[in-house]
Every structure is written in structure tokens, then in C-alpha cells.
Structure 1
Amino acid sequence: MKRKAEKQQAAAPVSALSAVAARRARQQQAQAAPIPKTEVVVEIPVGPPTKKPKFSDDESNSLEDAKESKAHRTRSSRKIETTPSLPPKHGRQEQSQPPERPKSRLPSSVGSREDRQEDAASQNHLMDSDGIAEDEVTSVLGDADGFEAPTEIPPELHNFPLSKARLNKDNVAYADKDKICVRVKEKMNLALVGQYDLWVKKGVISLMGAKLHPCARAYRVYAPSTHSLPVIKCVSGSNGEAEVEIKSCKSGLTRLHEISPLYQKIWNGKVTAADKMTLKGKLKNSRRTFSVLYTSADDSFKRHLRPLHLDKKWSASMKALSHKQGQLRVLVCGPKASGKSTFSRYLLNHVLSPAPEVENGFVNSDGCAFLDLDPGQPEFATMGQVYLAHLRAPFFGPPFTHPSLDDTEDGQILRAHFIGATSPKEDPDHYALAVMDLMEQYRLLLTKYPQCPLIVNYPGWIFGQGLEVATWLVRSLGLSDVVYMSEKGPAEVIEPLGGAAIEARVALTILPSQPTDFVSRSSAQLRAMQIQSYFHMSHYGGLVNPLWQAMPLSRTRPITVKYAGSTSGILGVMVLGAHIEPSMLREVLEGAVVGVVAVESTKALAGSVSSNRESQNTDDETMDQDLDMDDEKDLRSNADDAPRPANGDLANGIVRVPEDNLPYLYSGAGTSVPLNPSSSSCLGLALIRAVNVTSHQLELSTPIPASRLEKAFEEGHQLVLVRGQIDNPNWAISEEYYAARAAERRYQKEGRIDGVDTEKHQKTLAILHERVRRASNVPWMTVVEDNSRRHREAAARREHSLWKLRKKAYAESESEAEY
């Protein structure tokens, strides 16, 4: 206020006309001068979103004019829209409805009047030259995920230190075009981006919570820019240094950028200064699948790269928990975006570290059980599932690098349940029953592996009913520890959780949250990357690590399954969480991702018709198969196209849709009650590509191994396809388009390099262009072309934009309550 008064006093002798003229002159000068990209500085707020900046009348009018002209300027911008359109979001948080925030790209701090005017002029210039303000493109998209608008990286953050060691002739033992062998000294670290195989030759190193000793095995490490980079540190070794070999690897995961823009520019870019030093004298244009980075400025893509360093309290807590060895039973919970998944992943790797027996007298030969209760962002499965996994080796990479554990030697999913949603709040009762069944499975695992510790990852659903479920778990799971990931409380969560821990005689540890301030992918985008990776990943016999195929699903041969007749491959289909009329069942299923659930007994179906309580409280199995005939009669009288019972078998609640003959597990009230978890389990996910009414067949794409399906049939289980409320597979709709574009660009590039301009070359280009045209003309997708310079400049700026996490840690927070 004092500064504002001084400004007004200083400006008093100047006439109003002169002030207006001076202001307009400054605005015209700012518009005429080009604004370099690096000069756009956005102040990073540390608290809640700041208030909307105030503008003068002239500034407001100019901004309004720019906004009015935005609509016709964006009609020709390149974009792909899918319907039903789930907005592409940036960040890693669940959907929420945060309050409105300012759309201006101006700094949140309010400076002098002249500074605000110059900033407004710069904003107008960006709008006029680009045709659209960067916030206006994606501000709505960010709101849906609890993140603020994208912002360019401030210049002072471009040169962030990543590695404390620099490669030279003294610490590089040997190097070639594929690998390097580095001696890492104590208190030094090395950060890399890309993917590689790590072999510890001498000494002991730490990586993502694991302490790796010399052994014959090489560990696969995935370090994309979407997450904080893992850091290689020396723990101990002869002469105070460890020796590791880092080797290039080819998994096919990098080629997924050809079918999805979400995978573009997330690995290493051009050769860095460290790479050039180790590639001297090697083949020309040699390039590894990883790059050593000294600072973030070494990155050719100029991304917001950060190393992953743990808080000291986190490290101390992990050591204390791991000392409990086989008696460890820990529940990790806390608010949303507090670092629960990171802590659980690091603790898991720490427990699974293959330490020699001489270190502490204990060898973890029983592995570790991981109970993942977060259906929104699971670690070893795709969204919509809760599961119990038995792991034997550490994993180094984000969830989309290990979306499945099928047929792997390092671990397996013992049992999973399809929740059908990204949040347990959709059906807390079914969620609680699934947790109870998974805990029973863990007790069975203890009979075979008595020294198997347990790590439970609880979602950020920690307020209201979520807190009730969390306290119930603390009282009933027989835990040894509870870790709460927030020192800021709130008290209405800490007190009930602490009371439940005291009642159950469980130690409660409160750790500081460690969220990532800036992210380049939203939770919805990370879920899309994970499920797309799931459908394109394969495990081959004899290989430790999986491989990925970049072929669009539309070009793969579907699996055909009969849904009617004596050779029917499925028992029925069901829809969770929504009122779906039987006549609309076909439209709901086509193009949807469904859970493939194995029904182990008739009690599971009985729970879907009457209630789960009946299937647990009665000893007579015939009572579980009863169906209210009055409800069926009401259903027939209320709908002209009422479904017909399948072969008169009303006991299972299966009715047939008249036109399609689809077997619908329809309860009569327009919904399907979930299957009883004690008598069913999820085998994986499948994408329904089409429903062939003529042949009564479903065309499916699924990565579920054939061995799992055969085992289910051999055990007498029947399959049910469950449609939940998980994200629509928009990524699958646009795969063919992106693949066609990639093929066309690749052929054009090869032609420019070779200088080919023959008739055959032009004919091939025409064929590829026609493929792009056909791929862009599909249902639920619209492609709008624009090759203007203005659009290219705006797209280039958006490539380097980030999203700042809007985190709130109080009970009334929408981002917490709407998990």
C-alpha cells in the first residue's frame, strides 16, 4: 500500500492525457518487439492459486479483444478430438473440481503499474502472434485433474544440477557404442535419462531404494522424463568406490511414440556432453538408449528434469521398517499427492534388495507381498483393480513400464479384483469385501512363505468414508506399522487414525509429504499410458524383461468369443455403477475396456442378484440362487424390449437382450451388483472391438496369457465381462492415425536423405497419404489440419510447458474429497 501511494504521489504532476499517451506508447513498443521464448517468466506460487490480477481499463479492453478473436483463430489448429471425449490432462492426480483460477500467464505477484502494463502488453502480443493464448488451450484440461495451467519453465530452473560426478578418463573404466563402465565414488551420484541395463561389478550402490550388491544379474532400469530420474549412488566399496556397467537395451517401449503422442520425447534426446566424451573414436552417429546428464541444461529437449532424492526422515523410516524383516506389516496412507506411491515403491525395493547373508544375518528368500488398494494408480496392474502381488526382485521404473506381472520370474499377481472405477468411493462395500478377500489370500501365502513381509498401499481417499475404511483396515489387518504421509495433518484425520493404531497396538509414523511440484503428464494421461502399455506388452519365454509392439490394435487379429449357444465362451456381461437399459447394452460394450472376471462358484452370481450378505450368512446354496420373480415380471411390464431369461435359468440372473441375444447379468433395477470377491477374481482386461450379432461373437483384444485362460477353464470357472466406469480408450481410437502419420514421415525422411524422387517413390507416398486420410476418418475422432507458422510456434511452446500441482491438505478440499 505504501508503494502504491508513493507511485500516485510521484505521478500527480503529470496530466492524465500525458499518462494515457505514455501508456499507449509503451504498449505499442512492447507489441512491436518480438518476445523471446525464454523471456516469459512465470512466478511459481508456493501456496494456493493466487487471485486474478487486476488490470486497467485499457488493459482489460485489449485482453477482451484478444479473447474474442481467439475462436476463429483456433478453428484450423491441429488437434485430435475423440468422443466421448475425456479431456487430456496434465499431472498425476485424480479427477476433481477445483475452483476457478486466473487464465492470465502474468506473474502472480503484483508489482508496479508500469510492470503490470508491460506484462499485459506482452500477453496481448502472444495472443495476437500465436492466435491463441497458451493457457486458453489447456486451462480447462488442467482443472479436471486438479492441476493449474501449464507454464513455461522459468529460465533459472533450466540449469538444475542432476549428477554430482562428471565422467572423465579416471572414472570411466571402458566404453563403446553400447555401454560404459563407470567408477562411482562415495558421496557422488549419477543421473541418467532413458533405459538401460545396470550391472554392479564391484562395491554396493543404491538405486530407487534398493541396495544392489555385485552379482551376475543385470537389472533393467527405465528412467523417462515423466517422473523424477533415478540416481545411482555409491554406498560402499573398495577404495571408496563402486564399479557399474551401464548398457543400452532395446525393449520396444520407445517405439510407442509412433502410436501415441503421450510417449513422445520422454526418453533421452541428442548426445550429451558426457556421452560425447565416452563416444570419442567410436562409430559415427553412435547413440545409446541412455544419456548421462550433469544438469538439466544438458537435455536437448529442454525438459523439466529433476533427480529423485529422498527426505532424510523417509530414509530413516525405511531402514527402521526393513529391520523388522519377516514381521513387517505396514500400511502406507495419506492425502492425495503426498508421495505414497513413491514411498511404497522405495520401501518395496529396499525390502527386496538381494543383500548377502553376512550383512545382517537375514536373507529375504520369501520375497515380499504387495497389497495395492489404489485402483486409480496401481503399481503392477492397470486402473480399476486392487490386487495382491508376490514379488521377488526390485523393480526400477514407473508403473507404465511394468503394467502386468504375467509370466514373469520376478513376481506374480496372486489374486486381483476388478473394482471398475478409479476410486473406491464408487462402491465402498464391494471395495471392503475385496480387501478382506485379498488379506485372506495373504494369510494363505504365509503358510508357504512364513517370512514374507507385507506392504499395503492405500489410496488418497483419506477423508470422510475413506477415513472410516482406513481405520477399519488398521484395526482388522493385523498390521505392525502405519505410515501417514503428511506432517500437516489435518487433526480430523490424524486423531481417528492414531486412535485406531493405539487400539490395535500398531506403531504410527508420520512423515513429511514429498510431492512433485511440476509434472508433464496428468493422472489421466499416465493411466492412458499405462493401459496402452499393458495392451502392447508381451512376455516371451526365456526372456527376463518384457517386449512391446508398436502395431496399432486395429491391425492385430482379434480373439473371437461366442456369447450364445452351446459353445459360448462367456457366462455373461455386466455393467457397474450406471443404469443401462438392456437395449443399449451393445452400444455400451463396443469399444469399451472390460474386466475379464473368473466366476469360481455360483455364490459370486448370487451376490450380484440379491446381496453379498446373503451369500455369506446362509448355509444353503439353493437360497443363494433365488431370484425375485415379481421383479422379473415388473421388468417385463415396464419395457417393451424386456430381456428374456437365458434358457429359463433365472437363478443366475442372466437375461437375454432380444435383438442381440447378449447375456446380461441384469438385476432388474437397471444395474448390476458386483460379483462377490470371495468367489471371483479378475484375470485382466480386454478391449471389445465389435459385437457381431449375426454370428453371436465378440471380437476382443487382450494381453491375458492363454495359459491363464486355459487354467481357469480347467478349474471349472466361467468368465464374465464387466464394464466399469474407467476411462474410455481414446488412445485406441487414434492409434492407427498416429501410426499412419509416423510411417508417412519416416518414408519422407528416408527419401530426402537418399535423394529419391522416382515415380515409385511418389506412388508409395500417395499410398501412405491415403492411409493417413482413411485413419483420420473414423468414428469418434476429428482431425483438423493446420500447418501455419503461427500454429507451429504455439505448439513448440506447449511442448515445453509444465503443470503445477495444486495440493490442498484440509478436510474441505475438493481435491481430497473428490478423489
Structure 2
Amino acid sequence: MLSAVAARKAALAASQASTPPEPTATAGSSSGSASGSNSTPQPKAKSKRKLSTQQARPDAKKPKKNKSQPKAKTASKPVSDDFKSQADVIVVDSEEDEDDSDSGMSILEDFDPLELAKSAAQIPVKRAWSPSQPVVDSSDEEDDQVGVVDISSILPNVRTATREVEDDRVLSTFKPEPGSNIFTLTKEESSKLGLADTATLVGLISTDTLCLLGACNLTVLRGSVTLCGTTLQPSTTSYPIYAPRSAPLPVIRVNPKSETSTFDLPEHLHQFHAVISLQELKTNVQGLSRICRSFEGVFEPSRWQRSSTESPFGISGLYLVRRLSKECHVFNLPPSWAEALDRVAVHRDNVLGGAYIVKGPKNSGKSTFARTLMNRLLQSYRRVAFLECDLGQSEFTPGGMVALNIISKPVFGPPFTHPILPKYAHYIGSTTPRSSPSHYLEAISALLQTYRLDIQTPDLDGTEDDDERIFDVIPIIVNTMGWSKGLGADLTQQIESMLEPTDIFDIHAPAREDWSVAPPPVPIGGQRNGYGAYHDYSTMEATTALVHTLDFVPSSSAAAGYTPSDHRALSIMSYFHARYPVDAVPNQWDEVAVQSWDVSRPLCAVPPYQVDCGVAFDKIVLAGAGSEDVVEEEIGNVLNGAIVGFVSCEPGTVDMEISGPESGSGISTTGIPYSRNSSPPSPASSNCVGIGLIRGVSSPTTTTSSSGESGPPKTYFHILTPLPHSLLENARVLVKGEMELPVWGMLDFRNFDDKEASGDIGDVAGVDRDNVPFLQWGKAPEGAYGAEKRRVRRNLMRRGQM
């Protein structure tokens, strides 16, 4: 950061550059002439000084080798590392300053950064090899523009004015003043307004913006506000808000088209255009960051962000973000997205119960737009069907399944904060349909048929309610996967043909050569996929759908350093630690959402269900590449520690034939109803209610009847699942795919301090590290092929490099 003295000198240098230069001699130029200045040499007070510990390098340039001369054989001597010995700051000294180089004065006390930048830019300095990319020098083209010289590459600790404008954009213009625009209510005062617990009222005027970080419950009491592209009207409904740093932060703005309040508010609150209520959200969702250490502290400001955040609401875990920083990103609605959403609202008046499909490449904002579209449709419809076709990053269910959900309330937060129990789903068992594309399409076709027959036009009576939204039609949104090339593009096109959409939202990515320009136009009969390549669909029938072309929005999670595999791991761990109502019986129209998360114990310390495999299940199926090679004797080892899907089938549709080694009673010796080369149940007659974890498999034991005869062997499973008991009763088929439990699910995170998290893992409370299943500490036993990582030497040099 520039000091005040340096800032004044920069302004003085800029003013001197605008005055006519005085004629001077050109011979014997000093550092001032080298920097492009035509004025007389500066006095000694303007000199650039070096640090007292820095030594001058007389041989800054290495002599060029003459290839025609033969190489002389010299004695070997140690080669010095030029990269380590070079200075961090390039200092340009004049001849008259050499006597004062050891004065001990800091270089930051009297230097002109603009002159230093121009001087260093004109002196070619060769650096030793560095892994970083070379800095592009454009100072020669902008020599006359002193005010736009970029010195960020020379002085990395100095922030230019351009970067300050970019990184310090104001997000929250709301200025909290307790007693003036922030009011804390007691339980009695909150109950009069229909609020369950203590609350904080926030009064907003038309120019106020409010950016939140953390988690809270939001209720609109007066006026209306916009949040993540959705308008919230005054009502008694509380909306859970989840705003971690790993996702775009929501910004609350006052809607100019405000409606009158239905609440009896005091007179002093009528001066505000909008009044909202903020309450503490007690779900323990913050504890998920203890389990997945990649997301540690995402609901709190980072240490670099603490200066721009504050907590004026008196609510635990809720912060007000004042300025934008590189650790967080906000939700911005691009103009093309806003235009498409407005056109959907107009198009809805003509075609009720529309079918909408969202497609585009990966990391393009596809899932974010699908969530925003769902929230926007919930302003006109009471319920919206959401068909999830993205196996890797599902919105409401863990990965590995295609699911049809019915949503009745807007959601504000990333996918791991709102898992629900699906209405209808089919378990694929993988994060990509590459190994089973036919089963993938068959499952989606069955879900679309279920939607048209049972969901699209429900038999409901909503005339008695005051809700004016449409209740007799439920539209559908299809969120496709981000695999937009080759087989992935063909699968997406077949899904579109099966859906027959009324609106197509196509996100176009700019060409890979230049991501800063707009994408080229789509040729007639062509459909753009990921990076400018096209698939020719001119032979197919023309669609009558309304096509919306959307801008490419880079993923904020990738910019924050989170990969899709990190989000998949967090989504699975959120599912297994979620707590649903134990006695909940999901009906056809209302979703069963998570109530809280139990993060007090790891999965290795949670009491499991002990299930007799031969009694509880009719069939166990292995799906995915290589599953056909598993013999019956090894099925217990394969299922040990596996993620499985619980599938309920219609009566009479399950083949219970057992093959393989058999005992005298005709039952498999493993006690597990498994047979090789079995295919998953047909999606037309089955339904996946959820997934579970088989934490342990016992050895088969032989039973003996009362008459002394040997009975069938018994094998017990230890199963972990958050599903209610009512759903597990009819799920008598287990399907294991290619998905595996993340390593975070195998660790015991209790008393896991920073030293242990860095790699020095010791014994923790509850479960000793040597007893954690499926994990081995230290080196593998000697003699096992591939058990130990081979050492790769990368310091070998060629003969010419010696």
C-alpha cells in the first residue's frame, strides 16, 4: 500500500510530465534519462536508494555463448542458484547515489513508484528460470501515459487504483444504526407478529442493499424485496437463507413495486420501504465444515475479510459483508438471464404448465439458473416439478441418481443445504452415465411418464385458500448434465426429444481461444456444445420451443478454489448426517425436507441398523463396469463399506433366483441373495427411495433348527441411512454402483486440531485411528505389488545441461 509521501510524489511526477521539458545534453545519461525523463537530474532528495543489506550485481547480464567455438573442458564447480540470489525489488541508481548506498535508509521512505516502474521497464533484466509465467511488458507502447503505468508486476505489495476499484466494490450500502433502522424484539413482541422466536427487524429504504454471510431465517413484513432473482412478498412464511463463502452470496434489495403489509407494525416502521425479520437458524449446518475440512469456516468471514464484515444484527452466525473480496462472490443476474426469466413470465400466460429444459457446458452456471428459474416459477405456481438429470452435482439428492422432486417453497443456498427425499428416483450408481447410457435414458423416460400421468395435472382443491397462485397445473424443469460433447450431447438431445419442451435455455460458452469475446452465432441446423464445436441436428424435426440463449457465467466455486469433487463429497456427507422426521410418511405433493444435521459424531461412531440380509432383502445387484466379474464368494468383501441404493419394486417383478455355490438346502453359502450378471430393476416398475452405507458385513453363520437340521446361513449387515422407517419397509432390493464413500466419511473428526489436520494424525477421542475401518496408516506390507508408491526422480539432467 503506497504511503502518503509516495502518493504526493506520484502526483508531482504526473504534473511535471505535463510541463514542457527543458533542453539538456544527451550524453552521459543517468537513471533519470534512462527512465524517459528530459528534465534536469533530480536533487538528492529524489534519489532511489537501496537497502543496506543489498549488494549491487555488476554482472546482471550473462554473456551469450558462441555456438561456433568448441566447449572448453573445465573443472567441475558448484553452480550458484541465480534465482535465490536475485533481489526482490529492482533498484535503479544513478552514479551520484553510489556513495550513499550504505546509509541504511529504507527504500520505501523516498522513492517515486511511477518513475521506478518506467525505469525498470526500459532496462532488460534477465531472470533465472521461474515456474511463473513471464510478465508482459507494455510500457513501451504507453510511454507517454504516465498515469496508467502498471507497477503491480514490479512492486507486488503495492495496490494500484484499478485493483482497489475491482476488489473493493461496495456490496452493502445499508448502514446499521440500532434503534434507528435495527430493532431487537423479545419473544412476546415476536409472537405478536407471528414469529416463533426472538427476531431482529431491519428497516430498508429504496437505495439500501444488504449482503449476508452465514445462515438465518428471513421473513418479509412490509414491502417486498428481491433475493437471488426472486421477489419475496409480505407473508408469515420464513425462508431459510444459507450463504457460505463457497457459493454466491445473496444480496437483498428493495423492490420498487412494493405491496402493502398485512402486519400491524408500529408507526415508526412505516417510514421504511421494506421491513424484514432476521432470526437465528438452528440447524447445525455449520458443523459440516468440521467433517469436510476443505470447507472449514465457509460460513464465517476469512481472516482477510474480517475488516470488511461486521455482525450488527445480534444473531449468532450471521454477518454483514460490506465490500467484495477475492474470498467471496455475490449472486449477479446477467442481463440475458433476466430477459429470459421475464419472457418466461409472459410465456406462462399462454401455455400453462410449461416444460423447461436447461442445458449447457460444465461450470457455466447451469444449475444456478435452474434454481433461479424454479424460484421464479414458484411466484406463479404453488408447486414446481424438478427433474434432476445431472448425476454428478444434483440439486436436492445425493449424486448417482436421477430424481423427480416436487418443490413448493423457494430455496436459497447451495445444494448441500437443502437435501430432500425424492418423490420418484432411480439409482444409476455413478456420477456419469458413460458406463450405462441406456439405463440412464430408460430411467429418465420412466420419470417423465410418471410426471405426465400423476403430477402434471393434480386433482387438488385450492379455492378455499387466499393464495392466488395456480394450483391445478405443475410445470417441470429439467436440469441436464454438463457433459456437452460426443455421447453427452447425444444423451441431452434425446432427453430433449422425450420432454418436448416449451422453453429451451441454452447456455453458450465463448470459444476456448478467447473467453472475453461473445460466442459466434450458431449456424442453421447446428447446436453448439462446450467450446465452439457443433453437432449437426439438421436431419431432426424442428422444435416449436421458445429458445433462450444465455450468457456463460463462470462458476464462483471454482474461483474460490472448490472443485466438483469437493462439492460431491460435501453433498454425500450432508445427506448421511441429515436428520429427517423419523415417522414422516411422504405424500405425493409436499416435500420432506431436512430439519437439522447431527454433526456430533462421525459415521464410524453412529449406531447402525443390524439387518439380517436373507430376511430383509430379496435381491442384491451390482451395477457398473467390472461388476459382472464378481463371484459369489467375494460379494461380502465388495459390499463391505459400499454405498447402496434402496429400491422398492412392484410385487412379482423381482427375480429371486440364486445361482452359484449352493448348500444342500438350495440356499447360497454366503447367505446373501446375489447372483452374477444381474441387471438393475426396470425403472418402469421400481423406485429408489434413497441411499445407505453398509458399514460392515458379518461372516456367514450356519443355523440349526429345533429338530437338529442345519438351516440356511445368516449374514448380517450394519447399515447407516437417514431415511425414515416407513420408506425402508418396502425397499427390499439393494443396488451397488461405482460410487464410493469419501475419505472424510471414514475419519473421526472429534478433537481434530490443526496439527492433526495438517498430516500428523494422532489418536482421537471415541475411535482409535488404528480401528477406523477401510483405512490403513503407514506403509503397506512389503512384497505386495503396487502397495507402495514408486519414487520418481525428476532431477536428472541431459549431458548438455551439466
Determine if the TM-score, normalized by the shorter chain, exceeds 0.5.
Answer: yes
Query: Which residue, 303, 313, 316 being the options, matches 2:336?
Result: 313
| Separation of aligned partners in 2, 1:319 and 1:263 | 35
Deviation of residue 187 (structure 1)?
Answer: 4.9
User: How far apart, CA to CA, are the structure 1 residues paired with 2:664 and 2:547?
Assistant: 53
In structure 2, relative to structure 1, the CA distance for the partners of 1:696 and 1:772 (3 Å cut) is closer
CA distance in 2, matches of 1:665, 1:315: 53
Q: Distance in 2 between matches of 1:24 and 1:553?
A: 50
Q: Is the 8 A contact 2:310 2:321 kept in 1?
A: no
Give the whole-Å Cα distance in 2 for the aligned partners of 1:274 and 1:448.
Answer: 49
Aligned counterpart, 1:89: none
Q: Percent identity?
A: 25
Amino acid at match of 1:214: P
Match of 1:389 in 2: 405
Counterpart of 1:162 in structure 2: which amino acid?
Answer: L
* CA distance in structure 2 between the aligned counterparts of 1:445 and 1:645, rounded to whole angstroms: 48
Cα 1:312/1:663, change in 2 over 3 Å: same
> Could you tell me how far 1:772 is from its partner in structure 2?
7.8
Q: Counterpart amino acid of 1:529? A: L
Structure-2 change in CA distance of 1:681 and 1:204 (3 Å): same
Report Cα offsets for 1:793-813 as digits up to 9, x if no partner. xxxxxxxxxxxxxxxxxxxxx
Name the residue aligned to 1:352. 378
Secondary structure in 1 matching 2:497: helix
Specify the alignment match of 2:765 in structure 1.
771
- Once the two structures are superposed, residues 460-481 of structure 1 have per-residue CA deviations (whole angstroms, 9 ceiling, x without a partner) of 1222222222222333323211
Q: Which residue of 1 aligns with 2:321?
A: 293
Task: Tell me, yes or no, if structure 1 residue 419 matches structure 2 residue 428.
Answer: yes
The 5 Å alignment of 1:414-813 reads 414-443=423-452, 444-448=454-458, 450-486=472-508, 488=519, 492-494=526-528, 499=538, 503-516=542-555, 518-540=559-581, 546-550=595-599, 551-564=601-614, 567-579=615-627, 580-582=629-631, 583-603=633-653, 605=655, 643-644=661-662, 656=668, 658=669, 660-667=670-677, 672-694=678-700, 695-710=714-729, 712=730, 719-734=732-747, 736=748, 738-741=749-752, 771=765, 774-775=768-769, 778=772, 780-781=774-775
Question: In structure 1, what residue type is equivalent to 2:503?
Answer: D
CA drift of 1:389 comes to 0.7
Note the residue ranges of structure 2 that are not aligned, 5 or more in a row.
1-33, 35-55, 64-79, 91-105, 109-123, 140-151, 157-162, 187-197, 261-270, 460-471, 510-518, 529-533, 585-591, 701-713, 757-761, 779-802
> Which structure has greater helix proportion?
1
CA distance in 2, matches of 1:226, 1:557: 31
SS state at 1:310 partner: coil
| Contact in 2 for aligned 1:601/1:680 (Cα 8 Å) | no
Contact 1:592 1:729 in 2 (8 A): no
Pick one of 394, 406, 421 that aligns with 1:378: 394
Structure 2 CA distance for aligned equivalents of residues 343 and 596 of structure 1: 31
1:433 CA drift (Å): 0.4
Pairing of 1:152-163 with structure 2 (within 5 A): 158-163=167-172
**2:457/2:473 contact within 8 Å kept:** no
TM score, norm. by length of structure 2: 0.64
Q: Judging changes above 3 Å, is the alpha-carbon distance between structure 1 residues 741 and 226 closer, same or farther for their aligned structure 2 residues? A: same
Q: Mean Cα displacement is larger for which, 462-471 or 540-549?
A: 540-549
Q: Is the 8 A contact 2:359 2:507 kept in 1?
A: yes
- Name the counterpart of 2:206: 186
Q: Which residue of 2 aligns with 1:66?
A: none
Q: Quote how far apart the aligned CAs of 1:156 are.
A: 7.4
Change (3 A) 1:586 1:160: farther
* Alignment check: 8 A CA contact 2:751 2:764 kept: no
Q: Please name the residue that 1:165 is paired with.
A: 174
Q: CA deviation at 1:595?
A: 1.2
After the TM superposition, which of the residue ranges 529-538 and 205-214 deviates more from structure 2? 205-214
Deviation at 1:391, TM superposition (A): 1.1
Distance 2:125 2:772 in 1: 48
Residue 743 of structure 1 deviates from its aligned partner by 12
Letter in 2 for 1:448: P
CA contact (8 A) 1:563 1:572 kept: no
CA distance in 2, matches of 1:545, 1:723: 25
* 1:233–1:706 Cα change, 3 Å: same
Change beyond 3 A, Cα 1:28–1:699: same
Q: Distance in 2 between matches of 1:246 and 1:15?
A: 63
The structure with the largest alpha-carbon Rg is 2
> Structure 1 residues 587, 20: CA separation in 2 closer, same or farther (over 3 Å shift)?
same
Q: Which residue of 2 aligns with 1:212?
A: 232
Match of 1:202 in 2: 222
What code does the residue aligned with 1:705 have?
A: P
Partners of 1:368 and 1:258 lie apart in 2 by 34
The 5 Å alignment of 1:182-331 reads 182-235=202-255, 236-237=257-258, 241-269=273-301, 278=312, 288-296=316-324, 304-325=327-348, 326-331=352-357
Conserved? CA contact 1:327–1:480, under 8 Å: no
Q: CA deviation at 1:316?
A: 1.4
Cα deviation code 1:700-721 (max 9, x no counterpart): 00111111123x2xxxxx5222
In 2, are the aligned partners of 1:688 and 1:698 still within 8 Å (CA)? yes
Task: Rate the CA distance shift 1:457–1:220 in 2: closer, same or farther, 3 A.
Answer: same
Give the equivalent residue in structure 1 for 2:381.
Answer: 364
Contact 1:471–1:496 under 8 Å retained in 2: no
Which residue identity is paired with 2:377? V
Distance 1:646 1:165 in 2: 79
- Please report how far the alpha carbon of residue 436 of structure 1 lies from its aligned counterpart in structure 2 after TM superposition: 0.7
| CA-CA distance at 1:168 after TM superposition | 3.6
Task: Give the drift of 1:56.
Answer: 11
Per the alignment, do residues 197 and 121 of structure 1 end up closer, same or farther by CA in structure 2, a change over 3 Å counting? closer
Q: Quote the Cα distance in structure 2 between the aligned partners of 1:348 and 1:500.
A: 32
Matches within 5 A, 1:332-347: 332-347=358-373
Q: TM-score, normalising length from structure 1? A: 0.63
Separation (CA, whole Å) in 2 of partners of 1:170 and 1:501: 65
Q: C-alpha displacement at 1:295, in angstroms?
A: 0.6
* AA at the equivalent of 1:729: P
Give the count of matched residue pairs.
Answer: 578
Q: Which runs of 5+ in 1 are unaligned?
A: 1-9, 37-54, 64-103, 113-117, 123-153, 280-285, 298-302, 354-362, 407-412, 607-624, 633-641, 649-654, 713-717, 746-767, 785-819
| 2:289–2:298 Cα contact (<8 Å) kept | no
State the shift of 1:180 in Å. Answer: 3.1
Q: Could you list the per-position Cα deviations for residues 749-772 of structure 1 after superposition, in whole angstroms to 9, with x for gaps in the alignment? A: xxxxxxxxxxxxxxxxxxx96638
